[in-house]
Structure 1
Amino acid sequence: MSFQDWEITFEERTEELVEDYGDSWRLKFDDNIEPDNPAQDWFQYIRGAFARFQCSKCKKTWPSRRVLVVFHFRLDGRKRKGTVEARRFRQECRRCQEAKMEEPQFDSDNIEVLLEKLVERIRMRCYRETLDGIQRDFRPVGRSEGPHESSHCEACLKGVCRKAE
């Protein structure tokens, strides 16, 4: 799904924050986000999710059960604006020489779950709400029975993969 799909889903998920608190929120992707290193006054939420990849060279596709997504977020209470920066970690094709890191393709249901959990975290951190939410799980996007290939995982190469969690 495109950034626009993420943005629309995020707007839908944050409508209640606008209604309840009068704060607007925006989402942007930033490939420079470093896990476990949010800027001062920012919070972090990290989650693994199911996604698919497709090699731009050979067109091979593969599923992955634990694609790391890192969100850094903050609320500027004076301006009544919240910002979320997100980074989706990539993988490369194991078959191609000099393969490039490919962007994960998330199913719309899994984007909804990711953003629903993110908004729960925003409510807890920025608004100090206590939530007893219903647990929603990610939907698998194919069989992924092989081993995790650390040498082709951007998160592993950066030392932040949470494949064992």
Structure 2
Amino acid sequence: MPSRKPKPVALWSLYPALHEDVSVLLAEDGLVFDFHENDDDNDYINEYDTNVMGRFTCRNRGCRSNGWSSRVIPITIRMYPGARYNARVYHQHCRNCDSLSKPRLTDSYAERVAYRLKKWNGIDMEPPQYNGKSKGPHEESLCEGCKNGHCIQSKRGYRG
């Protein structure tokens, strides 16, 4: 009987289901983009690292973690030819058991993605604001964005 290899754990995810939210914000300025689901494609025109907010739930059923919120979930936004985009959202590890978790995102995702696409298309606007402050330090050792060089917390001189 062949042995089963464990499925590789994803270090990041795309969120095509949130495209409609991004589209609504882009339409305010007359922009129309399609979601580009092939993240292996390296023919992007622009790339930008920023962060969004959300909540993680530990996937390890044996873990006692109740989950955690984060105001620093790294994302890499990419714009492709033909008015297409995507945004890679990096996962985080549970502090209690080290299991990797995918976040549930807030509206900050659509706001950040739409803002960046508008900026790349020459629309002058103020950056979206986050309300509230982080309740704890960002732990680089638990953040896949930090490990992959895409987290704003691990980059010097980040200004938003």
Distance 2:44 2:139 in 1: 35
Gaps of 5+ in 2: 1-13
Q: Does the CA-based 8 Å contact 1:27-1:86 persist in structure 2? A: no
Match of 2:68 in 1: 62
Which is richer in helix? Answer: 1
Match of 2:90 in 1: 89
Q: Does the CA-based 8 Å contact 1:30-1:87 persist in structure 2? A: no
Match of 1:116 in 2: 114
Gaps of 5+ in 1: 34-38, 77-81
Q: Do structure 1's residue 138 and structure 2's residue 130 form an aligned pair?
A: yes
Aligned match for 1:47, one of 50, 70, 76? 50
Distance 1:156 1:114 in 2: 19
Match of 1:9 in 2: 21
CA-atom RMSD in angstroms: 2.9
Aligned match for 1:163, one of 146, 150, 153? 153
**TM-score of the aligned structures, taking structure 2 as reference length:** 0.70
Aligned match for 2:35, one of 9, 12, 27? 27
- Superposition deviation, residue 29 in structure 1: 5.2
- Superposition deviation, residue 119 in structure 1: 2.8
Output the amino acid matched with 1:55. Answer: C
Match of 2:11 in 1: none
Q: Do structure 1's residue 152 and structure 2's residue 150 form an aligned pair?
A: no
Match of 1:79 in 2: none
- Superposition deviation, residue 111 in structure 1: 2.5
Which 4+ stretches in 1 moved above 3 angstroms? 2-5, 28-33
Q: Does the CA-based 8 Å contact 2:47-2:78 persist in structure 1? A: yes
Q: How many residues align?
A: 139
Distance 2:94 2:39 in 1: 19
Q: Does the CA-based 8 Å contact 1:9-1:115 persist in structure 2? A: no
Percent identity for Structure 1 against Structure 2: 20
- Superposition deviation, residue 118 in structure 1: 2.2
Distance 2:77 2:131 in 1: 20
